[in-house]
A and B are shown apart, each in its own frame.
Chain A
Amino acid sequence: MEYNHKIVISDPTLRDGNHAVGHQLSAEHIAAYCKAADAAGVEIVEVGHGNGLGASSLQLGESKTPDRVALEVARENLSKSKLGIHVIPGFATIERDLKPALALGVDVVRVAAHCSEADICERHISFSRSQGVEVWGCLMMSHMISPTLLLEQARKMESYGAEGVVFMDSAGHYLPENVRRRVETLVNGLSIEVGFHAHNNLGLAIANSIAAVESGATLLDGCARGFGAGAGNAQLEVLVAVLERLGYSTGIDLYKILDAADLAEQILMKEIPSIRSISVVSGMAGVFSGFIKPVTRIAKEFDVDPRDVFFELGRRKIVAGQEDIILEVAKELALRATKEGQ
């Protein structure tokens, strides 16, 4: 039996990072990074399409590496680290996607839903739990609901059999105080563990992750060089270093994770994630970073300021899948500008 009090690091470089390269990570990329992360002692390495298992499609972006190949390659190159997958019910079905993935040796299944829709995870969580693998629930875009409502949704995941709940700052919107309140509410209200997944739109991914840990979270997500959607995630090697300075154990070798990050920069990234002006706005507006490309394109088409579009989308609480609203908002802003000009 093993039991200790460390902070578990889950590394979605090869999943969230796929967003940053249009899901074009290759089998060679996956093999090389898995080997490096495994050598560094990363607890969980997440692999797959940016939107998770079964999400490769024309609309969301087709994966260069099919799920089966990605998981096979990752499994071959992970000996100590656990192999994790991100599963959004609907994109991933139990029969077509989840069963084959588990057969390939997945250790950790993270079943994710929009923060107010935990109900859709019941079957996927229960099924994964019944197959003897580790199961976590993930609540995305968690800033969109209050800590109390977040707890209600997390409790659903707990009741379905999740071993922990990760709340995600998908839009990079949080301030440390927002994170603290949510972690405290979850820790006090759940019997299972609490994790946090940061995005760096406001440059607070590390600070927010530390706020989470100091409030009782025991799992953090971090990506090499912050490689992830939009402005990127909490930068893994920095996170490990800061946790070490603060006296938390991660089980990760600092030099080896620095090497893994260097490797990731060299082979995975066309460019290192940075906080562009539009990312700051999407973070402030609380809109998913994946909207940056369509917002920029449509704003240009209607000759409106993409920042205004983002703030209006934020006011309307738009979530992924509602991209059509961008057009509506841009049209309205253009019309308003025309009227004001008359």
Chain B
Amino acid sequence: MNCQERTRLDCLRILNGREEALEQLRQSELVVVGGTGFVGTWIAEIAAALNDEYKFGIKLFLMSRSTDQFANRLPHLANRADIHLIKSDVRQLGLFPMDADWVIHAAANPDIRTHASNPLDTASVIVEGTMSVMRTAERLSRLRKLLYLSSGLVCGAQTASTNGMTENAQGAPAPEASFIYPNAKRFAEVLCAAARAQSRIPVLVARPFSFIGPYQPLDTPWAQTTFLSDALRGYPIRVLGDGQVVRSYLYGSDAAYWLLRILTAGESGDVVNVGSPAGVTLQNLAKEIAKNFNPSPNIMFNTAPRSNGRSAQLLPDTTHAQNEYGLSVYTPFDEAIKLTVQWHLMQAG
């Protein structure tokens, strides 16, 4: 099995018996703005599977500044007749497909290094980009719905509790440059609400938490990617701090299905968390990744772990997604890790 067959199987596993829930996508045009990142790629995989296996006839447009890199990296998607790449900055959407039925706005740079070094540029892409998408959406006569991908961070830090963050949590990120990304995402949600109020744009919001899976670049400084990168290079897995920080991970094909389901079944104005409610400490994440390698890499903690270790967590409450959209985690955590490792090993040959 090669990487493409692996990801196709992932999609078919998710779609099996659930494709009917996406029936509205048949013979429609879907535009993903910011469509060449992790989320856009998985949506392309799911759309391709729906077209090939279930004859959905979706016409998919992926808009991004990085279409050239996407075409080089993923020719099996880029060269398909039903997938169209449009090179464009989200802030200047001159070439937007005007017959779009559905729009997913996923444009933002999620790299925390960019947020730290270029906070104004980060905000510009998110805020001006969202304004640009909303202005474009005003002119789309066939638009049925627009889904904005916000962030699970817009409600600020999560207090240590056993429950996840609900969609109506009242917190907010601190008004500091270090938190430009969640603050800009939060303001972009307000822009969505304003566009709905002023121009009747049927827009709803998804708040992604942490994802994992093929297509996630390993040079990003997130726990799951750095641990995988360490293990794939044969290094010990280095855990920052005491390893007690809690995160949860939703597999790529699950995430894409969730987003398409929310896009098609959701009502304008809705806000839905997208992620896994099953928390895992970074220590256990490292152990689970290590388990999938032979020999299993050592796990190392920081040289100077703080004595008053923290129990920071970022977990979604997904009750709304479960009850209103019938969504759940289809790829359990251990399976998600196994599939991700397998894919990277296949890639490495």
**Per-residue 0/1 for B225-237: is the Cβ within 8 Å of any A Cβ (1 yes, 0 no)?**
0100110010110
**Per-residue 0/1 for A252-266: is the Cβ within 8 Å of any B Cβ (1 yes, 0 no)?**
000000000000000
Please state if B177 and A152 are interface contacts (CB–CB under 8 Å). yes
Please state if B230 and A159 are interface contacts (CB–CB under 8 Å). no
Please state if B117 and A216 are interface contacts (CB–CB under 8 Å). no
Kindly state whether residue A193 has any CB partner on chain B within 8 Å: yes
**Per-residue 0/1 for A213-230: is the Cβ within 8 Å of any B Cβ (1 yes, 0 no)?**
000101100000000000
Please state if B226 and A129 are interface contacts (CB–CB under 8 Å). yes
Please state if A8 and B303 are interface contacts (CB–CB under 8 Å). yes
CB contact between B116 and one of A7, A159, A189 (< 8 Å): that residue: A159
| CB interface residues, A 1-59, toward B, < 8 Å | 1-5, 7-8, 43-44
Please state if B116 and A191 are interface contacts (CB–CB under 8 Å). no
Least Cβ–Cβ distance between B347 and chain A, in angstroms? 17
Q: Point out the residues of chain B lying under 8 angstroms from A161, CB to CB.
A: 113, 221, 226
Least Cβ–Cβ distance between A239 and chain B, in angstroms? 15
Kindly state whether residue B27 has any CB partner on chain A within 8 Å: no
A117 vs B227: C-alpha distance in the bound complex, in angstroms? 28
CB contact between A160 and one of B116, B176, B305 (< 8 Å): that residue: B116
CB contact between A5 and one of B115, B236, B307, B310 (< 8 Å): that residue: B307
Kindly state whether residue B78 has any CB partner on chain A within 8 Å: no
A30 vs B329: C-alpha distance in the bound complex, in angstroms? 57
Q: Point out the residues of chain B lying under 8 angstroms from A130, CB to CB.
A: 219, 229, 233
Please state if A156 and B117 are interface contacts (CB–CB under 8 Å). yes
- Chain A: how many interface residues by the 8 Å CB criterion? 39
Least Cβ–Cβ distance between B229 and chain A, in angstroms? 7
Kindly state whether residue B299 has any CB partner on chain A within 8 Å: yes
Kindly state whether residue A321 has any CB partner on chain B within 8 Å: no
A27 vs B219: C-alpha distance in the bound complex, in angstroms? 37
Q: Point out the residues of chain B lying under 8 angstroms from A152, CB to CB.
A: 176-178
Closest to B176 in A: A152
Q: Point out the residues of chain A lying under 8 angstroms from B176, CB to CB.
A: 152
Please state if B238 and A216 are interface contacts (CB–CB under 8 Å). no
**Per-residue 0/1 for A50-92: is the Cβ within 8 Å of any B Cβ (1 yes, 0 no)?**
0000000000000000000000000000000010000000000
Dominant secondary structure of chain B at its interface with chain A: loop
Q: Point out the residues of chain B lying under 8 angstroms from A122, CB to CB.
A: 113, 117
User: Which residue, B177, B226, B236, B303, has most C-beta atoms of chain A within 10 A?
Assistant: B303
A341 vs B235: C-alpha distance in the bound complex, in angstroms? 70
Q: Point out the residues of chain A lying under 8 angstroms from B1, CB to CB.
A: none
Q: Point out the residues of chain A lying under 8 angstroms from B308, CB to CB.
A: 216
Least Cβ–Cβ distance between B301 and chain A, in angstroms? 5
CB contact between B178 and one of A8, A119, A155, A164 (< 8 Å): that residue: A155
Please state if A1 and B177 are interface contacts (CB–CB under 8 Å). no
Provided the pairs A160-B113, A192-B241 are in contact, do residues A218 and B304 lie with their beta carbons within 8 angstroms? yes
Kindly state whether residue A195 has any CB partner on chain B within 8 Å: yes
CB contact between B219 and one of A126, A131, A134 (< 8 Å): that residue: A126
Please state if B233 and A132 are interface contacts (CB–CB under 8 Å). yes
Please state if B301 and A3 are interface contacts (CB–CB under 8 Å). yes
Least Cβ–Cβ distance between B27 and chain A, in angstroms? 44
Kindly state whether residue B191 has any CB partner on chain A within 8 Å: no
**Per-residue 0/1 for B151-188: is the Cβ within 8 Å of any A Cβ (1 yes, 0 no)?**
00000000000000000000000001110000000000
CB contact between A155 and one of B116, B230, B304, B310 (< 8 Å): that residue: B116
Least Cβ–Cβ distance between A180 and chain B, in angstroms? 16
Kindly state whether residue B245 has any CB partner on chain A within 8 Å: yes
Provided the pairs A129-B226, A163-B240 are in contact, do residues A195 and B301 lie with their beta carbons within 8 angstroms? no
Least Cβ–Cβ distance between A267 and chain B, in angstroms? 28
**Can you list 18 A-B contacts (CB < 8 A)?**
A1-B298, A43-B303, A82-B303, A108-B303, A126-B221, A129-B221, A130-B233, A132-B235, A132-B236, A152-B176, A164-B304, A187-B306, A191-B240, A191-B245, A193-B303, A216-B308, A218-B307, A219-B304
Query: Besides the contacts A160-B113, A195-B304, what 16 more A-B pairs have beta carbons closer than 8 Å?
Result: A1-B299, A1-B301, A2-B300, A2-B301, A4-B305, A43-B303, A119-B116, A130-B233, A134-B303, A160-B116, A161-B221, A163-B303, A187-B306, A191-B241, A193-B306, A218-B305
Residues of chain A touching chain B, judged by Cβ–Cβ distance below 8 Å, are 1-5, 7-8, 43-44, 82, 108, 119, 122, 126, 129-132, 134, 151-152, 155-156, 158-161, 163-164, 187, 189, 191-195, 216, 218-219
Which 9 A-B pairs rank lowest in CB-CB distance, beginning with the nearest? Answer: A132-B235, A218-B304, A159-B116, A5-B307, A156-B116, A8-B304, A159-B112, A155-B178, A219-B304
